[in-house]
Chains A and B, each alone.
Chain A
Amino acid sequence: MSAATPQCRHARLLIGADPRHLPADVQAHVESCVGCRRFRDETLALDARLQAALELPLPDFRQRPAAPRRWYALAASIFLGLLIAGGAWLYRPSVALAGELVEHVAHEAGSWDQRRQVPAATVADVLRQAGVQFDPTLPVVYAMACPFHGRLMPHFVVQTDHGPMTVMLLPDEKVRVRTRFTEGGYHGVLLPAGEGGVAVLSREGEVPDSVAGQVISGVHW
């Protein structure tokens, strides 16, 4: 890491504290400082692993019996079972998947605000981490390999004539038919792609068929 000026120390504090939401002045400094840019890239890579580490696989949570409970904990277990069963009954798999994707996108709200095009090498690195092939024909302004359902999912934001749109590649999620959805202020479409699927989400109206077609044409798995 290069010698740190006061400006570098300030930038590294903010990068270390919240690498995905940097103020414009820090962002500008990072772009012009090799040491801070490296620190930012390392911290973003650490954060992707950190998120995967924190997202413990839940099936293993249920392998070990819990400690003895109070009587109403038993009632709570029944209540919880009903909650989960009710949720599964109420919503078909594709709708449940859409809900989880919207939840994920809402969790990374800052991704929509990116304007600067991401280098092709970064996009390639995200795809490599996830083991997925994709040829984005639209400019990518956000690229992250995000933990989702136990594996890394390429999460991109692309710029289109209809505003920014999120593209999520889901090679392991069975999408049987093209499904449009609207949830939590987002409009989206789930697209079948071979054995998996692709999700395209917009905040500014329905995803046009032309954009969906352009995205799906880049999927090669």
Chain B
Amino acid sequence: MNAASRGTTGEAAFTRLLAMLRPDLMRFAFWLARDRAVAEDVVQETLIRAWKSREELKDPAAARPWLFTIVRREHARLYERKRLPTVDVDEVEALGDPALASDGDAGLIDLRRAIMKLPSDYREPLVLQVLGGFSTAEIAAELGLTQPAVLTRLFRARNRLREAYGLQGVEDVE
């Protein structure tokens, strides 16, 4: 196989990888930004940046965390560049974004609203873990935190969500 055909094959595989992971990138961006239009912008920027940097991805198995990291950075850059206002949680609910209520499952809708209301310090590691499949060590590295700090944030995030799920909260950790 010559260099040109190797490149074509690699680009096709990378294209497929991006198409496969795009839905989760979109969801991750939405939970970060809590705003659909911002999320779409973030994902578009992410795909462009990923395409330009595709040579940096040596192991396709690492694509997911690699792309999630780019989403986080593009999200931060977008806010920095545009000086976007912080989204007000009540405003998000008032908008009644159909994405939050589309499946008609009242329990899920309540849980989504509760996730929306989590402070970003708790919401971000939780979404990285549950949606992104990051380990607690990877979340610590991604967010520049110690692993015990990540454990505490994840515990508190779930503890706050227990009520929305109809469970009693448990004693907080120090």
Contacts and interface: CB of A to CB of B under 8 A. Distances in A.
A77 B44 contact: yes
Given A17-B136, A46-B162, A107-B133, A76 B22 contact: no
Given A16-B159, A55-B27, A69-B41, A90 B16 contact: yes
Contacts of A83: 15, 18-19, 22, 47
Given A54-B130, A64-B36, A87 B16 contact: yes
Interface in A77-95: 77, 79-80, 83-84, 86-88, 90-91
Given A58-B26, A107-B133, A42 B167 contact: yes
Contact of B12 (A53, A90, A109): A90
A100 B111 contact: no
Nearest to B162: A46
B109 to A, nearest CB: 8
B114 to A, nearest CB: 9
B98 A73 contact: no
A109 B22 CA distance: 21
A18 B26 contact: no
A56 B112 CA distance: 9
A131 interface: no
B165 interface: yes
A86 B20 CA distance: 11
B47 A76 contact: yes
A18 B152 contact: no
Interface string A104-142: 001111000000000000000000000000000000000
Nearest to B12: A90
Nearest to A95: B16
Interface residues of B, number: 62
Interface in B122-156: 126-127, 129-131, 133, 135-136, 150-152, 154-156
A156 interface: no
A59 B154 CA distance: 29
B30 A61 contact: yes
A76 B27 contact: no
A13 B47 contact: no
A65 to B, nearest CB: 8
A206 interface: no
Contacts of A61: 26, 30, 36, 40, 99
B44 A80 contact: yes
Nearest to B155: A16
Given A1-B168, A73-B44, A50 B19 contact: no
A139 B145 CA distance: 40
A50 B16 contact: no
A100 to B, nearest CB: 7
Contacts of B126: 50
Nearest to B101: A60
B71 interface: no
Contacts of A109: 133
Contacts of A180: none
Nearest to A88: B19
